[in-house]
Structure formats: structure tokens, C-alpha cells
Amino acid sequence: MMAAIGTGNTRPGIVTASLGTSGTIYAYSDRPVVDPEGEIAAFCDSTNGWLPLVCTMNVTVSTELIRSLFGYGYRELEEAVDRAKPGSGDLLFLPYLHGERTPNVPYGTGVYFGLNDDTFTAESMARSAMEGVTMGMNYGLNRMRGLGIEPIEVRLTGGGARNRAWRRIAADVFNVEVVTLKVDEGVAYGAAIQAKWAYQKHIGESVSIRELTDRFVAVNESSRLRPKPENVEVYRRLQGLQDRLSLDLRGAFRARASL
């Protein structure tokens, strides 16, 4: 809730995506957003509105393991991802290393699908891991779209947002403009803004939280990226495959867990 304020996520159309150990995507709504499937959390937020939110369990968990496996530094990881083409030659990574919350695959494990002579490379595996976790988050964003949330801008935060190649993947997978924040400690910054809002109300000064976030939250325009249509189409096709595999393998994961 504090990170929503700290990223200026206080009006419809703004979505925050946190690329951390786990991943969260959340939006502002002036009405309750109730998911009949139970995949989108129907939180109230700290502005007297609502905060539809999806959480995935495996984001930088996956990329850090890849980085360690191939001995990459952070810059080397970015360069390796850049050397592989969007879609990683149709190599798909299901990132369910710790099971998964969204989609609901609690007994899931990680899967590389599509390995062959061309894709069995460090570059393809690194990019596929980054793409796979982003498409995992996009599954949730698409569920939110189905419930009436229409993103016009995704504000990226968390450690993964510092990676330029990842920001490009996010823009193309989410099919919406992405941008980072000038102040990237969103939780603490949001708490400070909320404290100012509460104090001003206490002393009788009428100000909305939206007015304060418009004043104090600034995006880093130099980081803004727009989707590339040719890449969007690649990821739309792979997203459909990832969603189908997640559903088809759910039963197999359950059977494996019972062995």
C-alpha cells in the first residue's frame, strides 16, 4: 500500500510492477475489484480506494540462479540477454522453482520447454528465464485486464527494474509503456507522503493524496520504453503457450508431489 503511494499509483491507468525476489503487480481502482477465480487480491488501499494485486513467487529468484550458474555479473547478464533474440528461439521457461501462487501451481517446478541445438546456450537460457518470469507476471496483469483494469503505464520498481534489457522485455510482454521512478525506495517514500497527507488533514488543510503524489512522485523519463509491435506479437504467442502449459502440467505437478 505504501509502495503504491510512493510510485504515484493513485489514479486509474497507473500500474506498479515490482521485480524483486517475488513479483507483484498492483493498480488503483475507485471501486472494489473482485476476482471470481480468487487469483487477484481485492485489497483496500491507503487512499480510501482499492488495490487489486497479483503476486508471483519466482522472479529474481530465477534470474539470480541463472546469473550464478553461468558466473555472470549484473552487466554480463544484461549483455547475455541482449545477445539472444526476443522469444529466445521459442525456448520457454516455466519459473515455478518454489511452486507458484499465480497461476495456482503450488506443486510446480521449473521447466525449460523447447531445448534444442540452437537454444541450448547460456544466452538463450538467460533470456528465457527473464522472459518466463515476466510472462508469469503478465498472466496476472491479463487477469486484471479481464476485470476492467486498463493499464496505460507500468511503473517498474525493485532490483530487476535496474536492468535495461529487462525493462525492454517488460514493455513488450506487458504491451504497455514502462518507466522507472526517480526515487526507487517506493515503500519508504510512500509512507512519508502518506504521513504528510495525514498531518495536513490533522491541521485542517484539505489536500488529496493524488495531489501530493502528482507533486512529489516523478518518473525517470530517460528510462521510458514503448512496446515494439514485432516483439509484442512474439510474446503474445509465447504467453498463450505458457498459459496452456501451466494448465496442462498442473495435474502432472500434483501427481509428482504425491509420489
Q: How far is 108 from 256, CA to CA, in rounded Å?
A: 9
Q: Which three cell numbers stand for residue 103?
A: 497461476
Q: Identify the DSSP state of 96.
A: -
Give CA–CA dist 28/8, Å, rounded. 10
Write down all domains in the chain, each with its CATH number in brackets: 2-57+144-225 (3.30.420.40), 60-140+227-258 (3.30.420.40)
Give the model confidence (pLDDT) of 187-217 as tens digits: 999 999 999 999 999 999 989 999 999 999 9
**Per-residue model confidence (pLDDT) at position 246:** 87
Identify the burial level of 253 via C-beta atoms within 10 angstroms of its C-beta, where 0-12 means exposed, 13-18 middle and 19 or more buried.
Answer: buried
User: Which is it for strands 50-56 and 23-27: parallel, antiparallel or unpaired?
Assistant: antiparallel
Averaged confidence pLDDT in the chain: 94
| Closest residue by Cα to residue 170 from 129, 137, 128 | 137
Helices (H), the chain: 2-6, 60-70, 74-83, 122-146, 164-174, 186-202, 209-216, 229-258
pLDDT tens, 112-164?
999 999 999 999 999 999 999 999 999 999 999 999 999 999 999 999 999 99
DSSP-derived letter for residue 51 is: E
